[in-house]
Copies of this chain bind each other. A is one copy, B any other.
Amino acid sequence: MKHLSAQEIRQKIRDGEWTKPTAGLAQNNAQANLVILPKELAYDFLLFCQRNPKPCPLLEVTDVGSPIPYLTAPDADLRTDLPKYRIYEYGELIAEVTDITQYWRDDLVSFLIGCSFTFEQALLTNNLPVRHIQEGKNVPMYKTNISCQNAGVFHGNLVVSMRPFQPRDAIRAAQITSRFPSVHGAPVHMGNPKLIGIDNLDEVDFGEAVTLKENEIPVFWACGVTPQAVAMQSKPPFMITHAPGHMFITDQKDESYSIL
Contacts and interface: CB of A to CB of B under 8 A. Distances in A.
A182 B260 CA distance: 14
Interface stretch (A42-50, A118-126, A153-161): A42-50
A71 B51 CA distance: 9
B178 A259 contact: yes
A61 interface: yes
Contact of A186 (B43, B152, B259): B259
Given A46-B43, A71-B149, A181 B178 contact: no
A162 interface: no
A110 to B, nearest CB: 12
A185 interface: yes
A243 interface: no
A181 B259 CA distance: 7
Interface residues of A, number: 22
A50 B53 CA distance: 11
A9 interface: no
Interface in A70-93: 71
A37 interface: no
A58 interface: yes
A179 to B, nearest CB: 9
Given A51-B61, A51-B71, A71-B51, A259 B185 contact: yes
A60 B149 CA distance: 11
A50 B45 CA distance: 12
B51 A46 contact: no
A192 to B, nearest CB: 24
Given A43-B46, A50-B50, 10 more contacts: A43-B43, A47-B61, A49-B50, A51-B60, A51-B61, A51-B71, A71-B149, A178-B260, A181-B182, A185-B259
26 contacts: A42-B43, A43-B43, A43-B46, A46-B46, A46-B47, A46-B50, A47-B61, A49-B50, A50-B50, A50-B58, A50-B61, A51-B60, A51-B61, A51-B71, A53-B182, A63-B152, A71-B149, A178-B259, A178-B260, A181-B181, A181-B182, A181-B259, A185-B259, A186-B259, A259-B259, A260-B260
